[in-house]
Amino acid sequence: MATVTLRSGESYEDLLRRFRKQVTEDKILSVYRQKRWYVSKSELKRKAKRRGLRKMRQQQRRMARRLE
């Protein structure tokens, strides 16, 4: 859980900014969004494989551009 305390002389806007940054760093929202629906292990593996293939293709394209 992300918690922030108000520092002396700190405005509420700065406090809110620090809170949002902490939530982002802790990946609270992304975990919440992922857990809204049940995803089976096989589906997770399939998605990871697709991500890996996509990443590999992007790297190959980048390398091809460098060689040109």
- pLDDT for the residue numbered 3: 86
Task: Spell out the domain ranges in the chain.
Answer: 12-67
- Report residues of the chain scoring pLDDT below 70: none
Global pTM reads 0.56
Give pairs for 53-61: CB < 8 Å, separation 24+.
Answer: none
- pLDDT for the residue numbered 26: 93
d(CA 59, CA 67): 12
